[in-house]
Structure formats: C-alpha cells, structure tokens
Structure 1
Amino acid sequence: MNSTSSIITIGREYGSGGRQIGQEVAKYFGIKCYDKELLEHAANDSGICKELFEHHDEKPTNSFLYSLVMDTYSFGYSSSGFSDMPMNHKIFLAQFDAIKKLAGEGPCVMVGRCADYALADWNDCFSIFVHADLDWRINRIASKHGKTPKEAKDMITKTDKSRASYYNYYTNKKWGAARSYNLCIDSGKLGIDYATEAIIESIKIFDRTKISK
C-alpha cells in the first residue's frame, strides 16, 4: 500500500484542476482530502454556523481589520475578547485552528485556505501550487460548467482575484509566486493525470529526504 508521512497543501488557480488533483493524490496515498470540508470542521469546532464560513470562504477583508486579527490571534482566539470580534476575524481564526488540528491527526491533503501558511512551521508540510494557461482553463471551465468562453473567463478572473487577495492579505507571501511554495506545476502543459503523477512522485522524494536527514 502506498503511504506518506506528509501533510500536503495545494494552492490552485481556478480551473487548473487543483481540487481534482488533490483528491487523486489523497486517494493514491490512502489519506483524507480536505477542501470545503475544512469549513465544516471549523464550524463544528467553533460553534459558528457553516453558512458564515461559506460566505467568507477565501475572501479578503481590509488591512486595518487584519491588524486587529493578528493582535488577537497572538493571544488565542478563545480569549474573552473573541466574542467581541467581527465575524470575519472569527472565521479566519477558527479556520486556522481547524487546519492545525486536522494536520495534527496525521497525513492529509488540504486544498486552499492558506493551509501552507498555517502549517509553515511544520517540517512534514509539502506545499504545492497548481496553475495553467488562461485559455486552457477557460476551455476546461466552459466545458465543465456549460458556460460560454466569456462567462468562463469572468468566473476565473473573479475567483483568482479573490483567492490572491485573501492569500496575500493573510500571509507574508504572494499567491502563485514560485518562492511561496515547495513545488509549482502546470496542469495545462502536463494534463491532470500527469500533473497528479508528478506531484505524487515529488511527495515520495520529499518523504525520502526526511528519512535521510
């Protein structure tokens, strides 16, 4: 049986197949894949309704509020001041804690939601970013969702902008920049299946390097 000792995080451009790749990687290694499931876990742990997590999912907020978040987070979000915090603060902090808790339960794949940043101090974390040419993504989204090329492009532009703003806002890194991740891969060039295979082989190599250290 194939196995890994790693926590794999996957950032992805919209339409690049990042979620599908994450699911296939998890299936190969026999581990869990968390995408929107992260929201459900965060909701259950925090007592905040799931719909609020979905509403705020990978959406940025303003920098002034962010500074307040980080000040509060340094003391733990369960402090007495938590109940007075704006909802977007609560969502961010609860999700961050859920990511860490799930990672602590063992190897898994986590898709999006700044998981690579939340687990930056974890030696077992291997971060990946999946991207692809815009035209390739437009064709894929148009075909998958029955959209016109213009509608597909609008969906991609809006979602990528939101994800980039959210990631850049909550981390000290840049969304999609190679230096922000351990591995960047072009699913448009390789195709979903071969991109998945390349990621699996990279994880195997990463696991071996941990053993040799």
Structure 2
Amino acid sequence: MKNKVIITIGRQFGSGGREIGKKLADRLHIPFYDRELLEMAAKENGMSEELLSDFDEKATNSILYSLAIGSYAMGSHVSGVPEMPMNDKVFLFQSDVIKEVAKSSCVVVGRCADYVLRDDPACLNLFLHAPKEVRVERVARLYQLDDRKAEEKIRKTDKKRANYYNFYSGRKWGQVENYHLAVDTSIVGIDRTVDLLESFAKLKDAKQEG
C-alpha cells in the first residue's frame, strides 16, 4: 500500500470478523488490533487488563455520559472525572489508543473504531455478517457448544455489540450507511472474503494515487 489505510471492521458474532481482519492485515503487511487495544489501554493508564476486560464493548446507562464526552472533547483527561462509570472510561481509554495506532496503516476490529476515526479520510469501514445458521455452525464448532447454546451466545454477543455501538456512536450498528462495504462472509468463505477486501483496499489506495 502506497498510502495510509485504516481498515475498521464491525462484525456479527460468528461471521469470522477477527479471523478475516487478521488475515487481511497479514496480506497488507500492516498491524492488526482487536483485544490488543485493551492491553494497550490498560498499560497506558496503569490499570489491570483483567479489570478493563470486564467492561470491554459494554455500554453504560450513565447520566454522566454527556458530561464525560463533553469534558473529553475539550481536552480534559478522563481521570479528571473520577465519578465517570468504568464503561465510559474504557471507551475513552480505547478511543485514545485507536487514534494513536491510526497514525499509520492498520486493521482495527470493533470498539466503534469507524466512529472514533470518522474524520480520518484514510478510513475504510467494513461490516461483516452472515446468515444465522452459518454463524451457529461456526460458533458451535469453535466453542464446542451445541446449536442451542451457540445460538444463545450469538444473540447475547450481538446484542452487547449493538448496544455498545449505538450508545457511544449515536448510530445504528450494522446499518449500511455507516460503512463503505458490507459483506456476507458465507457467500465465498473466509479466505475469498479476504481476497475481496484486499482488492477493495488496493482499489481505494489506487484512487488516492489518481
């Protein structure tokens, strides 16, 4: 890639988002970030990764949210708002890390990265999905669950992700207008989806050259 490209990936649980993101990053020879963001946020703020993980991609119903985001936007450090719920702190911690890693090309999975980086023209925002039956089969296989438990895990995880995204972005998770490309990963499988996304990223890169 001749120019900086930031690829953000929103994903339904079981659609292969992490695997696809990692393979795409490897293909493009750029860093990949998923839970790595949590580790970096914990280290940066002198906190336990285990503690932060309990609040990872979880929204809060805090009435202090507007105040917190307002203070953050004006440059106040999050520690200056000690009463802020941990959910909000984790979101802001990770937002700082996302902005830092996005100074150069990378792939970022989840965590409202498309929203956090909404003003960066280098962003290519993707959403990966697949039919429920395909995701149930994949989750059941990967986590050694029966179909009923796999379906319940998918339902809860997608609900958590949607609530988190909707709350912190003010947008609707999975709504096509929020992304440059939405792909049903079941159509051609994991590796061919990586091929497709690699080609799409390179087309964007070529357009920047033109």
Identify the TM-score tier after normalising by the shorter chain. over 0.9
Partner in structure 1 of residue 150 of structure 2: 152
Alignment of 1:28-107 (within 5 A): 28-62=27-61, 64-78=63-77, 81-104=80-103, 106-107=104-105
Q: How many percent of aligned residue pairs carry the same amino acid?
A: 44
TM-score, with normalisation over the residues of structure 1? 0.93
Q: CA separation in 2, counterparts of 1:25 and 1:4?
A: 16
Alignment of 1:130-209 (within 5 A): 130-209=128-207
Unmatched 5+ stretches in structure 1 = none
Q: CA separation in 1, counterparts of 2:188 and 2:27?
A: 18
Contact 1:99 1:115 in 2 (8 A): yes
Distance 1:67 1:197, change over 3 A: same
TM-score, with normalisation over the residues of structure 2? 0.94
Q: Which structure's residues are more often helix, by fraction?
A: 1
Contact 1:12 1:112 in 2 (8 A): yes
Contact 1:59 1:166 in 2 (8 A): yes
Residue 45 of structure 1: how far off its partner (Å): 1.3
Residue 89 of structure 1: how far off its partner (Å): 2.3
Q: Which stretch shows the higher mean deviation, 8-17 or 62-71? A: 62-71
Q: Secondary structure at the match of 1:83?
A: coil
Q: 1:32-83, CA deviations, whole angstroms, 9 ceiling, x for partnerless residues?
A: 1101000011111122221222001111111523223222212234167233
Q: Secondary structure at the match of 2:74?
A: coil
Q: CA separation in 2, counterparts of 1:168 and 1:26?
A: 26
Residue 84 of structure 1: how far off its partner (Å): 4.0
Q: CA separation in 2, counterparts of 1:10 and 1:4?
A: 19
Q: Secondary structure at the match of 1:59?
A: coil
Contact 2:37 2:98 in 1 (8 A): yes
Residue 86 of structure 1: how far off its partner (Å): 2.7
Instruction: State how many pairs are aligned.
Output: 210
Q: CA separation in 2, counterparts of 1:153 and 1:109?
A: 28
Q: Secondary structure at the match of 2:82?
A: helix
The answer to whether residue 126 in structure 2 is matched with residue 128 in structure 1 is: yes
Residue 134 of structure 1: how far off its partner (Å): 0.3
Q: Which stretch shows the higher mean deviation, 82-91 or 185-194? A: 82-91
Q: CA separation in 2, counterparts of 1:45 and 1:91?
A: 12
Distance 1:80 1:109, change over 3 A: closer
Q: CA separation in 2, counterparts of 1:80 and 1:168?
A: 24
Q: CA separation in 1, counterparts of 2:6 and 2:191?
A: 21
Q: Secondary structure at the match of 2:60?
A: coil
Cα RMSD over matched residues?
Answer: 1.5
